[in-house]
Amino acid sequence: MNKGELVDQIAEKADCTKKDADAILTAILDTILETVAKGEKVTLVGFGTFEVRDRAAREGRNPSTGATIQIPATKVPAFSAGKQFKDKVVNLK
């Protein structure tokens, strides 16, 4: 499902126009992005949590030469599915 199809589904379920559904979805995604970019968590009960995680520095290998390289520490976005989301996926038939 792409964003356009998601907007169509939201408009149908919320009984609103596609324009309104697109504006709402865009606002939600922008808010989540801005909040996580500040280092804060966004928790949607039953759905999941968006957060920033620290990835430690580590040693890697250059695939071309096989030489050892140092990969620096970094921050990465992460999503943890909530219980309701997990249960829904596990019970797919």
Question: pLDDT tens across 23-54, in order?
Answer: 999 999 999 999 999 999 999 999 999 999 99
Are 33 and 45 in the same domain?
no
The total number of structural domains in the chain stands at 2
| Structural domain harbouring 11 | 1-38
Shared-domain flag, residues 26 and 52? no
Average pLDDT along the chain: 95
Distance between CA 77 and CA 54 in Å, rounded? 9
Q: Which residues contact 50 (CB under 8 A, 6 or more apart)?
A: 32, 35, 36, 41, 42, 77, 78, 79
Percent of the chain with pLDDT over 70: 99
70 sits in which H/E element: strand 68-71
